[in-house]
Amino acid sequence: MSQGTGPVPTTTTNAGAPVLSDENSLSVGADGPIVVHDNYLIEKMAQFNRERVPERVVHAKGGGAHGTFKVTADVSQYTCADLFQPGRVTPMLARFSSVAGELGSPDTWRDPRGFALKFYTQHGNYDMVGNNTPVFFMRDPMKFQDFIRSQKRDPKTHLRSHNMQWDYWTGSPESAHQVTWLMGDRGIPKTWRNMDGFSSHTYMWINAAGAKVWVKYHFKTMQGIDFLTDAEATELAGSDPDHYLADLHSAIERRDLPQWKMSVQVMPFEDAAGYRFNPFDLTKVWPHSDYPLIEVGQFTLDRNVENYHVFIEQAAFEPSNLVPGVGTSPDKMLLGRMFSYPDAHRYRIGTNYSELPPNQPIVDIHSYAKDGAMRHTPANTGAVYAPNSYGGPSAKEQQLTDPASFSTETAELVHHAYTAHAEDDDFVQAGNLVRNVLDDAARERLVGNIEGHLRDGVEAPIVARAVEYFTAVDKDLGENLRSRMGVGDR
């Protein structure tokens, strides 16, 4: 807050009329009762009672900033999306977050971190709502709600419970890859500036000729990856619970602008069906040896928001915000998220959430939406229905990207896991991460973090299951954990 220099304006009501006092209610004589027709007092009390919107059901604690995305390479052979064309510069908004903690929770609790980007493109808003890990805990949206409940608070005690967390994880072996990331160094980044971001999901890119490829996005921090140990994070949770929020804000204020390089992995459309594991399975990464990174561009966060509530709390990111040139994939998680986010926004910040400042596109809107609470832009003046004879908008079907046409087969409706690929397995990639990516010191921190987590209220049968789970990930890791936890051999 800066000290004002000009003349101090007169306080007004929300309707703009001058108010007579900031401090004293209207009363019957100096010592008599206050009166209900003191409109300004009532307005103040009523507005205050409604100041909060519900916090996000997940990713409640977060912060962000405005930025600029610049394309530095030529990927037009893969996508015709306007924002990815050579040299293009696109304004954007980023929001980083933790998943399970509430709005006031400490930044440094171990958790995946959200990495949500909104690009204000010439073809409407494009949202990339990812995390700081390239994989996730499950591959079917049916399991998301159960997973989140296991990470939030116990219904009886209202305490977070490591027992619930490990019960869920060890009962869901497809979580092994993500849990290994989470328990390792990436589980507590040093700051938001020191973490990478990933789409995690596979998307479709479509070029101007209509040719399709599969892509995964990577955003590499240019500040360098860095992390906190369990002990450092615990200390900060007490001494500086808003550590990430403060760090991002102050870096931008001192013009030490954080930047991320964007690359994609590109898989030819035809490779997907015969690939050795299901490439749309969100618990898997694509090895870079098969699909190397291809440079796209970089973004810079260059402006703090003017008001946290308006631009960050009311920001509505949604994987369903796609633009021509980008489509979905058969990733069931991505398809599930297409419904969930707009639905969450309608509940949390209202039907007309897309009119709020952070969510407004920079292009004109010609939709057939109309009315509803808090509406402030009129519906089309030509006509409010289609088709019409009065100049109302008309969809140009040839411009659509046909996002769902990944298969021409007519499928029967089934409740079924993905069909098997030769190397689908829940533990192989987690094991590769432990053996081939981590060094000895990182492996030691990983097992120490797992031990610390398990010793915090996890019941014996679930500890035994966790030992089996990590033995399946990596034999040595499992044995190390077994002896540290004093669990007997099977």
The answer to whether residue 100 forms part of the interface with ligand HEM (CB under 6 A) is: no
For this structure, is 59 an active site residue? Answer: yes
Q: Which of the residues 14, 39, 49, 59 is marked catalytic?
A: 59
Span from 110-118, 151-159, 322-330, 470-478 in contact with ligand HEM (CB under 6 A): 110-118
How far is Cα 35 from Cα 268, in angstroms, rounded to an integer?
Answer: 72
Q: Of 478, 475, 427, 426, nearest to 450 (Cα)?
A: 478
Using CB under 6 A, which residues numbered 281 to 320 contact ligand HEM? Answer: 315-317
Instruction: Write down the residue that tokens 């979580």 correspond to.
Output: 175
The answer to whether residue 431 forms part of the interface with ligand HEM (CB under 6 A) is: no
Of these, 38, 56, 63, 117, which contacts ligand HEM (CB under 6 A)?
56
Q: Of 218, 215, 217, 219, nearest to 266 (Cα)?
A: 215
Span from 42-50, 344-352, 443-451, 467-475 in contact with ligand HEM (CB under 6 A): 344-352
| Binding residues with ligand HEM: total (CB under 6 A) | 28
Where would I find the H helices in 279-412? 308, 332-349
For this structure, is 131 an active site residue? Answer: yes
CB of 53 to ligand HEM, least distance (A): 10
Span from 130-138, 235-243, 370-378, 403-411 in contact with ligand HEM (CB under 6 A): 130-138
Of these, 116, 188, 204, 326, which contacts ligand HEM (CB under 6 A)?
116
The answer to whether residue 336 forms part of the interface with ligand HEM (CB under 6 A) is: yes
The answer to whether residue 194 forms part of the interface with ligand HEM (CB under 6 A) is: no
CB of 93 to ligand HEM, least distance (A): 10
Collapsing DSSP to helix, strand or coil, 161 comes out as coil
The answer to whether residue 348 forms part of the interface with ligand HEM (CB under 6 A) is: yes
Q: Which residue is nearest to ligand HEM (CB)?
A: 114
Axis crossing angle, helix 440-454 with helix 162-171, rounded to the nearest 10: 120
The answer to whether residue 93 forms part of the interface with ligand HEM (CB under 6 A) is: no
CB of 440 to ligand HEM, least distance (A): 30
Q: Estimate to the nearest angstrom the gap between the alpha carbon of 404 and the chain centroid.
A: 23
The answer to whether residue 151 forms part of the interface with ligand HEM (CB under 6 A) is: no
Q: How many residues does the chain have?
A: 490
Of these, 130, 173, 241, 258, which contacts ligand HEM (CB under 6 A)?
130
Of these, 131, 151, 194, 328, which contacts ligand HEM (CB under 6 A)?
131
How far is Cα 179 from Cα 379, in angstroms, rounded to an integer?
Answer: 47
The answer to whether residue 67 forms part of the interface with ligand HEM (CB under 6 A) is: no
CB of 62 to ligand HEM, least distance (A): 5
CB of 54 to ligand HEM, least distance (A): 8
Encoding tokens for residue 19?
Answer: 């108010």
The answer to whether residue 379 forms part of the interface with ligand HEM (CB under 6 A) is: no
Q: Are 467 and 489 in contact (CB under 8 A)?
A: no
> Omega before 106 cis (within 30°)?
no
DSSP state of 487: P
What per-residue string of b and e applies to 51-79 under the rule 16 or more CB within 10 Å gives b? eeeeebebbbbbbbbbbbbebebebeebb
Q: Of 254, 251, 286, 249, nearest to 271 (Cα)?
A: 286
Half-sphere exposure at residue 158, Cβ-oriented, CA atoms within 13 angstroms: 1
Question: Would you say 106 or 197 has its CB closer to ligand HEM?
Answer: 197
Using CB under 6 A, which residues numbered 3 to 22 contact ligand HEM? Answer: none
Max Cα distance, the chain (Å): 85
The answer to whether residue 333 forms part of the interface with ligand HEM (CB under 6 A) is: yes
DSSP state of 174: G
Q: Which of the residues 131, 132, 359, 380 is marked catalytic?
A: 131
Of these, 97, 125, 265, 401, which contacts ligand HEM (CB under 6 A)?
97
How far is Cα 287 from Cα 290, in angstroms, rounded to an integer?
Answer: 5
Give the H/E segment covering residue 116. strand 113-121
Question: Would you say 341 or 368 has its CB closer to ligand HEM?
Answer: 341
Span from 111-119, 169-177, 413-421, 427-435 in contact with ligand HEM (CB under 6 A): 111-119
Question: Would you say 136 or 406 has its CB closer to ligand HEM?
Answer: 136
Question: Would you say 200 or 328 has its CB closer to ligand HEM?
Answer: 200
What is the DSSP track for 204-223? EEE-TT--EEEEEEEEEETT
Q: Are 120 and 328 in contact (CB under 8 A)?
A: no
Q: Are 201 and 455 in contact (CB under 8 A)?
A: no
The answer to whether residue 141 forms part of the interface with ligand HEM (CB under 6 A) is: yes
How far is Cα 262 from Cα 295, in angstroms, rounded to an integer?
Answer: 6
Residues that bind ligand HEM (CB under 6 A): 56-59, 62, 95, 97, 114-116, 129-131, 136, 141, 144, 200, 315-317, 333, 336-337, 340-341, 344-345, 348
Active site positions, annotated? 59, 131
